[in-house]
Amino acid sequence: MKKKWALVSLAIGVLALLAGCEPLMVLDPKGPQAETTANVIWISIATMAIVVIAVFALMIYVVVKYRASKQSEDYEPPHIEGNPIVESIIVGIPVIIIIFLSIVTVKSNYEVEATPKGYEGQKPLVVYASSSNWKWHFSYPEENIETVNYLYIPTDRPLEFRLYSYGPITSFWIPQLGGQKYAMSDMITTLHLAAEVPGEYMGRNANFSGKGFAENIFHVEAMPAEEFDKWVEEVKSTAEPLTKERFDELLEPGHLGQMTFNGTHLGFLPPPEGHDHGAGHADEHEHHSEDVHAKAEMDHSDHH
């Protein structure tokens, strides 16, 4: 009796805990790339649920139908050779499931690597996202501003993040906007995202990178384009300039709060030359990078 009540209490506790949990961020998408990822997760869960339910149903059927019965002591069950139909089903169904999930996964990979659907004709907002121990630096080359540990983005516009690291390999991840992607010290990786719902989101480094990894997070705020433009103008008129000496201080290991600067570090400390462009953006990406670097250098020279 005590065991029964203990199990009931445990079940009630688990249900209460689950009821109070926030919804999983990866299953609460706010952009097309994240929605694609969430759909793949749900398809995988549904497929696995079908398999599990079918296996348990067959197990119950076999246990009930072929349960032990009162037979004579000398009873010997008949010898049955392999059934080709049953064996075909046992082998064929897993193969079909693997093929189905492979097609879904490969198709979704191409989708999330490309410009988000519906935004192909728009010019993306380019942001260089670089990590250091243990902080994130966001450079807006066209706006000529830079932030630390927070990211403002406009809604309903494609976003092109160019990722690299000033330390160990990290992983850039905004769960409600898309999947994670590595940032490395010797090359730039490109991540295409878009936010369709204004709001505040959590971003973080999803790759262990030392003792400060747990707090290597950043704040993301998506807002209408008009508000984003106002914020850019405010930063340009109020923020302190970013110098090489100041940026070198920011690269020192440690944690920092949110910071804002006029200008970027791209002019005096350019990102790596190598590129991993994703799907079908190589030439366009290379030319755009050259233009951005030239603009950053001009802005830096004018500032001095």
Q: What is the pLDDT of residues 4-45, one digit of tens each?
A: 555 556 656 555 544 444 568 999 999 999 999 999 999 999
Q: Which residues pair with 53 in a beta bridge?
A: none
Over range 229-258, report the average pLDDT: 95
Distance CA 252, CA 254 (A): 6
- Residue 200 within a domain: yes
Is pLDDT of 303 > 50?
A: no
- Residue 4 within a domain: no
Phi-psi region of 237 (alpha: psi -120 to 50; beta: other; left: phi over 0): alpha
* pTM for the full predicted model: 0.80
Three-state SS sequence of 215-230: HCEEEEEEECHHHHHH
- Residue 67 within a domain: no
- Residue 210 within a domain: yes
- Residue 170 within a domain: yes
Number of Cβ within a 10 Å radius of residue 261: 22
Work out the angle at residue 192's Cα, subtended by the Cα atoms of residues 189 and 194, and round it to the nearest 5 degrees: 150
| Contacting residues for 115 by C-beta, under 8 A, at least 6 apart | 124, 158, 192, 281
Summarised one tens digit per residue, pLDDT across range 163-208 is 999 999 999 999 999 999 999 999 999 999 999 999 999 999 999 9
CATH number at residue 204: 2.60.40.420
Summarised one tens digit per residue, pLDDT across range 71-88 is 777 878 777 778 888 889
Percentage above 70 pLDDT, the chain:
83
- Residue 17 within a domain: no
- Structure-block tokens of residue 152: 């403002």
Phi-psi region of 199 (alpha: psi -120 to 50; beta: other; left: phi over 0): left
